Amino acid sequence: MALKRYSFGYGHGTQEIDLPEEKVLQVINGNPSTKIDDVKAATLEAIRNPIGTEPLQQIVEKGDKVAIIVSDITRSWIKTNEFLPVIVDELNLAGVPDEDIFIVVAQGTHRAHTHEEDIAVCSQEVVDRIKIYQHFSTDEDNLVYLGTTKRGTPAYVDKRVLDADKVVLTGGITVHLMAGFGGGRKSIMPGVSGDITIQKNHSLALADEVGAGASLKCASTKLEDNPLHEDMCEVAEMVNPCFLVNSVMNAEGEFSRIVAGHWYDAWLEGTKDVMKIQGVAIKEKADVVIASPGGFPKDINMYQGSKTYDTAGMAMKPGGIMIAMLECPDVKEPPAFTDSFRFDDMLEFEKACRAAFTIPFFIAFTVALLAHNNTVYLVTKKENFDIVRKTGQIPVESLEEAWKLAQVELAKQGKTDYTINIMPHAANTVPMMNK
């Protein structure tokens, strides 16, 4: 039996494993795509030749107070620090000085940044020049009510954003397990929205009937008839951002395209690029899937790592074995996620989630459901083991140990003709069955 070595990102490093090559159906990676060598030039090109609107210099003018919304540290793969200075300089050229520009970090329900994290996300240059505010979704004094969406979501948004004359969105586009795709309107909702707005919107991800679990309408790559996505757009439309700049990354985490222009049209164009890169045809689903999001920051905690579970599940047979790799140095974040694993019965878990819905509660439910219906080994730090066991997953320190346990489980099931799918960048790869 010929063995072949496979490498997976884990934290800031890698882990490797030798696997029987004839058992591996496919290494599911993103499709080849272009790489941008000059990010500044590409950003300027996008800003000055935008999609669906006038160039940024023609939209803002001297005297405008401009808010730029940036994604937080958990989305540092976006590499905002490389194109944000270009946007600031372009605003300067339009007659808007640094003192009339401010940044709001779109934490949604996440914790606030440290000063060092502001630098990592925005760049030292921008931190030295531009005032930066942290958004707090529970700070009612800094939220303004804009109305209620047709699905009943009360729209509360950060007052500082609404006080600006012009609002510029930044971010990155990738698939999203509930909203179809990230980026775009998510800078507003959940980015700078109130907690009640965020939770009500995300509760749309539950199926209409109790016991049916998550809604099939709210899924990766799905936009049409996705109530959660449409609700997000409605909140964003109330704010009416004047411009958007979003990055699209290739499978190696390098810039593939910068899209800019109208907050929805430019973003939608970017989603098409994402699917060209991330949408990968697979031969078939496998008995075993080994998946990593690619390392830090995508494995900073289990909550962010849920994107890996989502796409890896698309490449796995029902009742299969998943080996996920998440170092989780920030494993207790957010506490609302880790504290949710207190139910042995999945129906009780779902009912509790419906009764007191929060996004972390819902994501915890989907992780527990995955572990309940499949065998899931999580390669993580040893100090995380107690928390991981509460989720129904089996914690291990190394990929090698996980594979040994998986082989025992396969033997127990009497499977000698098992198959394996490999996903080194699972958070940015969408397995798609050939029709």
Q: Answer whether 3-30+283-433 and 39-276 agree in fold.
A: no
Residues in the chain: 435
- From residue 152, how far is each of 16, 155, 200, 235 by CA, in Å? 49, 9, 8, 11
List all residues 6 or more positions away from 138 whose beta carbon is below 8 Å from its beta carbon.
Answer: 194, 195
Cβ-count burial of 398 within 10 angstroms (0-12 exposed, 13-18 middle, 19+ buried)? middle
What is the pTM assigned to this prediction? 0.82
H/E run at residue 132? strand 131-134
Q: Which CATH architecture has domain 39-276?
A: 3-Layer(aba) Sandwich (3.40)
Q: What does the pLDDT profile of the chain (435 residues) look like in tens digits?
A: 799 999 999 999 999 999 999 999 999 988 888 899 999 999 999 999 999 999 999 999 999 999 999 999 888 889 999 999 999 999 999 999 999 999 999 999 888 999 999 999 999 999 999 999 999 999 999 999 999 999 999 999 999 999 999 999 999 999 898 999 999 999 999 999 999 999 999 999 999 999 999 999 999 899 999 999 999 999 999 999 999 999 999 877 899 999 999 999 999 999 999 999 989 999 999 999 999 999 998 899 999 888 899 999 999 999 999 999 999 999 998 898 999 999 989 999 999 999 988 888 999 999 999 999 999 999 999 999 999 999 999 999 999 999 999 999 999 999 999 999 999 999 888 998 765
End-to-end CA distance of the chain: 32
Q: Which CATH architecture has domain 3-30+283-433?
A: Alpha-Beta Complex (3.90)
**How many Cα atoms within 13 Å fall on the side-chain side of residue 294?**
18
How far is it, in rounded angstroms, from Cα 390 to Cα 338? 9
Under a CB-based contact definition with an 8 Å cutoff, are residues 342 and 356 in contact? no
Residue 371 φ then ψ, to 5°: -70, -30
Partner residues linked to 420 by β-bridges: 24, 288
Domain ranges for the chain, please list them: 3-30+283-433, 39-276
